Structures are given as C-alpha cells and as structure tokens.
C-alpha cells in the first residue's frame, strides 16, 4: 500500500486510557503492562488533534475504562468535537447510575464482553466469579438508559461448542451486534494459547459454521475481525481494505500517549503529543512493513493471498517476530498447489 492510497488519517483510534483492570482474563494482552497516564489537559489535546485530523471513531479499551472517573468528561469533550465514542467493558461496574452517565456523556455505543452462554465458562475465562451475571445486567442497564450495546465474544476452546448460544443472549438483552473475535497470541493470550487457542483446522470449521449462522439471521448482525477468512472458498470480504486493518484504517494509543499499530502489537512507533502525526501515519517504517507485506512460506503462490494478505499481522508478529509470516491460524495446506480461494 503506497502513501497515495492511504486515508488522510485512521478512521478509528483504539485508545487505552489506562491498563488498570479489575479482572485477570485468561487472554489479556495488557495485564502485565504498566505505563504513566496522561493528565486530563493532555488527553483533551489528543482529542483535539484527532478531531482536527478527521478521525471518526474513538474506542476506549485497555484496561477497564469504567475504572476512570474522568471517562465521562473525556467522552463528553470528544463528542463535542464531533467524534463518535465507543468503549469495551467487562460490565462489572456498569450499574444503573453508570448507564445513565454513559448516556449523558454521549457514547455512540458500548461493547460488553461475554465469552460464553455458560456462566461458569465465562467466569472461568474471565477469572472473576459472578462476572457473567454482572455482564448481562450491564446490557439491561444500557437498554434502560437507551444506549446502543454490542456483545464481544472471544472464540476459544471453552466456547467452541456452544458459541451459538450467544445469539439468544444478544436478543434477550438488547444487543444489536455480536462480535466474534479471533484469539490473539499476545500477552496472557500467548501464555495460555496452548489450552485456549483453536487449531488451524478448527478455525476453518468454526468460520464455516459462523458464516452459515450469520446468513440465517435477520434480526442480529454477526461481525468478524479476521482477515484469514479470505481463505474460505467463495468468501467475499466487504471491508474497505484487504488483510489486517491495523495501520490502514486504525491505530492504537497507549496510556502515556505512545502510538502503536494495534493494541496486540507491542511496538511503539511514536508519541501522539511529541511527534508529528502525519509523519508517523504516512512514513512510519513499521506501518510501511505492515502495509506492504511480502508473502513468505506457504503464503507464496497461495491463491488466497491477494485477499487475506497473510491474515492477522498481530498473530504473525507475536509468534515469529515478522509481519510477513503466515498467520498461525491459517488452515490452508502448506503445499501451494493445494491452495484455493
């Protein structure tokens, strides 16, 4: 991808205001990360810069955003600058009062993490007894406050056989979209991937099933974030770019203002308050490597490569240290002659 093909700025900035969290999830990328936090005045300066650059969405993650008392002030300010603000939460702190404050601050939508229709499995994955019930309650509180909600579900071995039960959970609690997230191999996700991550063939079977379920629904949107799906015969992606969106449509901001391509790629490429944003966006050598990947290994000569571009850059980098390596989740045979799109 050449500079002339790039947008003038990312569409979405995923912003970890803090890495503090009240959970210890089995797959967490940031549990062991510690960094200084920006003061409110500098956070507002970052908001101003993003608004001036034409960023559309800010998504707060991290850490647990609701641990930050100034979250509502930050959100209200970002909304006043024309930005659409979303966040991802584990739901533990999202009581009726928080839902009212979320609505008043102007959140565009709120995503709640629920990883299984089985309460015990969810609580075990999140390492917090009672978290399933609190997450369901948070969806109800958001609906009562007239705030749009979504559900995020990380696919893993603990929910592979019953993930379809998430459809009814969304229906029963007012969530409009079910995001089925691929398992990332960063942080605790890498530590625990041996017993939580699926095999490549399981990923292929899962996506085949998930697409069938998605196409059968008319009242709920099922959304994916995995470029490796381009390896499914007949699959047509409708995204704005091919391959990973990180560094093309999105960037990540760390709590101290550091910029990284993605929260799952622990490589700092600049600082939002210290470096020229355009220079980072257009000229970062790291981003250029991600945007102009070279097929290696079984990707070379594979018919799917033009669409998947090697799959998830974060997974490839986590496992090999190279963005060019094939996605370790890829189920396509190693023999290029057997590849088909």
Task: Write the pLDDT tens digit of every residue in 273-295.
Answer: 999 999 999 999 999 999 999 99
Statement: residue 341 has pLDDT above 50: no
pLDDT (average), residues 29-54: 92
pLDDT in tens, 245-262: 999 999 999 999 999 999
| 139 vs 127: CA distance, rounded Å | 20
pLDDT (average), residues 106-110: 98
Helices 131-144 & 96-105, crossing angle to 10 degrees? Answer: 50
| 150 vs 176: CA distance, rounded Å | 6
Statement: residue 33 has pLDDT above 80: no
Statement: residue 236 has pLDDT above 80: no
Give start and end residues of each alpha helix (H) in the chain: 40-53, 71-80, 96-105, 119-126, 131-144, 165-173, 188-191, 193-196, 200-216, 277-283, 285-291, 305-308, 313-320
What distance lies between CA 234 and its chain's CA centroid? 25
pLDDT (average), residues 25-30: 87
Q: What is the pLDDT of residue 339?
A: 44
pLDDT band of residue 335 (cuts 50, 70, 90) is low
Contacts of 288 (CB under 8 A, 6+ apart): none
Buried b (16+ CB within 10 A) or exposed e, 191-221: ebbeebbbebeebbebbeebbebbeeeeebe
pLDDT in tens, 172-216: 999 999 999 999 988 888 889 999 999 999 999 999 999 999 999
pLDDT (average), residues 151-168: 97
Q: Is 86 helix (H, G, I), strand (E, B) or coil?
A: strand
pLDDT band of residue 340 (cuts 50, 70, 90) is very low
Lowest-confidence pick of 24-33, 79-88, 133-142 = 24-33
Statement: residue 95 has pLDDT above 70: yes
pLDDT in tens, 118-150: 999 999 999 999 999 999 999 999 999 999 999
Statement: residue 336 has pLDDT above 90: no
Buried b (16+ CB within 10 A) or exposed e, 138-167: bbbbbeebebbbbbbbbbbebbeeebeebb
pLDDT (average), residues 307-315: 93
| % pLDDT > 90, the chain | 85
Which H or E run contains 58? strand 57-61
Question: Is this structure's pTM higher than 0.75?
Answer: yes
- 262 forms beta bridges with 265
Q: What is the pLDDT of residue 9?
A: 96
pLDDT averaged over the chain?
93
């Amino acid at each position: 991808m050449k500079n002339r093909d790039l947008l003038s700025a990312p569409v979405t900035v995923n912003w970890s205001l803090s890495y503090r969290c009240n959970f210890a999830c089995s797959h967490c990328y940031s549990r062991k990360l510690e960094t200084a936090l920006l003061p409110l005045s500098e956070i507002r300066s970052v908001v101003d810069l993003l608004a001036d650059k034409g960023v559309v969405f800010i998504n707060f993650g991290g850490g647990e955003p609701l641990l930050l008392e100034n979250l509502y002030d930050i959100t209200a300010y970002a909304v006043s600058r024309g930005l659409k603000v979303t966040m991802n939460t584990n739901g533990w702190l999202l009581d009726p009062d928080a839902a009212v404050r979320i609505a008043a601050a102007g959140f565009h939508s709120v995503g709640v993490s629920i990883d299984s229709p089985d309460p015990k499995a969810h609580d075990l994955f999140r390492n917090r007894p009672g978290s399933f019930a609190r997450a369901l309650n948070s969806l109800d509180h958001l609906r009562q406050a007239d705030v749009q909600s979504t559900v995020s579900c990380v696919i893993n071995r603990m929910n592979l056989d019953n993930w379809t039960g998430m459809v009814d959970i969304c229906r029963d609690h007012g969530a409009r979209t079910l995001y089925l997230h691929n398992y990332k191999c960063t942080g605790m996700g890498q530590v625990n991937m041996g017993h939580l991550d699926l095999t490549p063939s399981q990923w292929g079977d899962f996506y085949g099933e998930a697409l069938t379920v998605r196409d059968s629904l008319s009242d709920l949107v099922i959304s994916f974030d995995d470029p490796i799906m381009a390896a499914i015969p007949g699959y047509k992606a409708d995204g704005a770019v091919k391959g990973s969106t990180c560094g093309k449509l999105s960037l990540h901001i760390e709590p101290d203002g550091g910029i990284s391509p993605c929260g799952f790629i622990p490589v700092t490429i600049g600082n939002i308050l210290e470096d020229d944003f355009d220079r980072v966006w257009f000229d970062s050598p790291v981003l250029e490597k991600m945007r102009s990947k070279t097929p290696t290994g079984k990707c070379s000569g594979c018919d799917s490569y033009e669409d998947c571009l090697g799959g998830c850059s974060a997974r490839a980098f986590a496992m090999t240290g190279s963005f060019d390596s094939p996605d370790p989740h890829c189920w396509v045979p190693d023999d290029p002659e057997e590849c088909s799109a």
